[in-house]
């Protein structure tokens, strides 16, 4: 049996390994457009590779088909990733639920996948960008060869500099598959006019995405201000629900009750005399933020704190607990960590990853309409879908 895996990234290498383990007699060839396999893996998790999470569930992913996604994840949660990597000689460690290799080095993860491919005699063809996969008379033509089974594991469109230019979507479409419009996800948000005056400031905040008056998602963590808008992990998480229209409301006192904050500020204000508000608030956040909050509630920043009324303080806290930013868009593909949209799960068997349209065609990884949160969910999906596709496509007929 001849199997072609198109794309030598996280999911493609996994598919190749599981195919060979399932059927050592199968001839498995990985076609990779880059000069080396797994280039993107090296930059994951800031070079540490956050490869799974202790809390895997369909709720941590966006897909138009959560039921099929749930079926794929069933029985392949965190324990599956831990066992898979134990089998590759890579013990995992958890940090706030996020799983990393004990080495904290993405290179060790890629090495383990590469060594296993070598051991199993997976053939790897590098600098082999595939632009077309033709299916006729039960065989697939890929490059100059013909294959019985093909797995499209080309990733999405995020980080195109690492080889993912969306060509997998074109091949999926040409083979008759429905591809939901891909959008950049886990990406920074651009605000109307940008945030030049706050550029460089980082604050811990609650970030709430509001669409047409309704809160659709909330995350807490470090928010960064940039000349174009907002960044940081909570913002990247919110980007997955951006659909052309969104406000972000920042709570600069996350987890703190409105009344308690007002009380605390009132009692402190009694002892600080005539400090201006930006100086008074210096223990909470940088002056630029205080000035922005003052602008939001029409308070004069120069007013000495001991001249502020209780109403003024309440207005200030109210605004600081819901500081408003109009989102104009997201940054583009080069800045995105993943893709929202992709090959419709309704046309793919959730347990085998085989196409319901073309027999012998399989999918794995980001090419599918599955977009995970920050926290190891996207790589976890690559292992789950890659392993399922690999096992199924190598099974003898």
Cβ closer to ligand FAD: 154 or 203? 154
CB within 8 A of 64, min separation 6: which ones?
180, 344, 345, 346, 369
Query: CA torsion sign, 317 to 300 to 278 to 194?
Result: positive
Part in contact with ligand FAD (CB under 6 A); list of ranges 58-66, 152-160, 204-212, 247-255: 152-160
Part in contact with ligand FAD (CB under 6 A); list of ranges 153-161, 282-290, 295-303, 307-315: 153-161
Q: How far, CA to CA in Å, does 125 sit from each of 8, 36, 37, 70? A: 9, 9, 9, 34
d(CA 149, CA 133): 11
- 3-class SS at 190? strand
Part in contact with ligand FAD (CB under 6 A); list of ranges 249-257, 263-271, 352-360, 378-386: 378-386
Closest contact distance (angstroms) between CB of 289 and ligand FAD is: 28
φ, ψ dihedrals at 175, nearest 5°: -90, 10
**Residue/partner pairs of 313-319 with CB below 8 Å, 24 or more apart:** 313/262, 313/265, 313/266, 313/269, 314/262, 316/265, 316/277, 317/253, 317/258, 317/261, 317/262, 317/265, 318/258, 319/293
Closest contact distance (angstroms) between CB of 90 and ligand FAD is: 15
The neighbouring-strand residues paired with 124 are: 30
**Residue/partner pairs of 229-234 with CB below 8 Å, 24 or more apart:** 229/188, 229/189, 229/190, 229/191, 229/194, 229/195, 229/325, 229/327, 229/328, 230/188, 230/189, 230/191, 230/195, 230/325, 231/188, 231/189, 232/202, 233/374, 234/205, 234/206, 234/207
Closest contact distance (angstroms) between CB of 365 and ligand FAD is: 2
The reply to whether 360 sits near ligand FAD by the rule CB under 6 A is no
d(CA 394, CA 391): 6
Residue nearest to ligand FAD (CB): 9
The reply to whether 366 sits near ligand FAD by the rule CB under 6 A is yes
Part in contact with ligand FAD (CB under 6 A); list of ranges 135-143, 154-162, 289-297, 340-348: 154-162
Closest contact distance (angstroms) between CB of 257 and ligand FAD is: 34
The reply to whether 29 sits near ligand FAD by the rule CB under 6 A is no
The reply to whether 337 sits near ligand FAD by the rule CB under 6 A is yes
Pick from 198, 277, 379, 384 the residue near ligand FAD by CB under 6 A: 379
The reply to whether 8 sits near ligand FAD by the rule CB under 6 A is yes
Binding mask 107-136 for ligand FAD (x = CB under 6 A): ----------------------xx------
Pick from 10, 189, 293, 343 the residue near ligand FAD by CB under 6 A: 10
The reply to whether 188 sits near ligand FAD by the rule CB under 6 A is no
The reply to whether 58 sits near ligand FAD by the rule CB under 6 A is no
Cβ closer to ligand FAD: 44 or 269? 44
Closest contact distance (angstroms) between CB of 373 and ligand FAD is: 9
- 3-class SS at 271? coil
The reply to whether 151 sits near ligand FAD by the rule CB under 6 A is no
The reply to whether 191 sits near ligand FAD by the rule CB under 6 A is no
Query: CA torsion sign, 144 to 150 to 152 to 154?
Result: negative
Binding site residues, ligand FAD, CB under 6 A: 6-12, 31-34, 39-40, 43-45, 50, 129-130, 153-155, 158-159, 163-164, 167-168, 337-338, 365-366, 376-379, 382
């Amino acid at each position: 049996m001849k199997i072609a895996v198109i794309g030598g990234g996280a999911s493609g290498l996994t598919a190749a390994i599981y195919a060979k383990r399932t059927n050592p007699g199968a001839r498995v060839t990985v076609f990779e457009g880059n000069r080396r396999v797994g280039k993107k893996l090296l930059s994951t998790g800031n070079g540490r590779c956050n490869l799974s999470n202790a809390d895997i569930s369909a709720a941590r992913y966006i897909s138009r088909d959560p039921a099929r996604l749930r079926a794929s994840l069933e029985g392949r949660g965190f324990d599956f990733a831990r066992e898979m990597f134990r089998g590759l000689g890579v013990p995992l460690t958890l940090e706030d639920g996020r799983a990393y290799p004990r080495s904290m080095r993405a290179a060790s993860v890629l090495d383990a996948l590469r060594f296993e491919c070598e051991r199993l005699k997976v053939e790897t063809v590098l600098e082999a960008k595939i632009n077309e996969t033709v299916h006729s008379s039960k065989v697939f033509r890929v490059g100059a060869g013909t294959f019985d089974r093909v797995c499209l594991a080309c990733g999405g469109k995020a980080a195109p500099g690492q080889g993912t230019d969306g060509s997998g979507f074109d091949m999926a479409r040409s083979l008759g598959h429905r591809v939901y419009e891909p959008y950049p996800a886990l990406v920074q948000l651009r605000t109307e006019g940008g945030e030049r005056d706050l550029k460089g400031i980082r604050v811990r905040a609650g970030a709430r995405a509001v669409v047409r008056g309704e809160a659709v998602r909330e995350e807490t963590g470090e928010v960064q201000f940039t000349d174009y808008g907002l960044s940081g992990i909570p913002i990247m998480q919110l980007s997955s629900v951006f659909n052309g229209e969104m406000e972000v409301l920042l709570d600069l006192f996350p987890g703190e009750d409105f009344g308690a904050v007002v009380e605390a500020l009132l009692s402190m204000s009694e002892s600080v005399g005539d400090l201006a508000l930006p100086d008074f608030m210096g223990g909470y956040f940088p002056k630029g933020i205080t000035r922005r909050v003052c602008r939001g509630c029409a308070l004069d920043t120069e007013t000495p704190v001991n001249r502020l009324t209780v109403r003024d303080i309440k207005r200030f806290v109210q605004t600081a607990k819901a500081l408003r930013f109009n989102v104009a868009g997201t940054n583009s593909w080069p800045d995105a960590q993943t893709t929202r949209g992709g090959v419709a799960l309704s046309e793919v068997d959730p347990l085998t990853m085989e196409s319901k349209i073309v027999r012998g065609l399989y999918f794995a990884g980001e090419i599918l309409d599955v977009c995970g949160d920050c926290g190891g969910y996207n790589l976890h999906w690559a292992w789950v879908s890659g392993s399922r596709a690999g096992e199924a496509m190598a099974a003898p007929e």
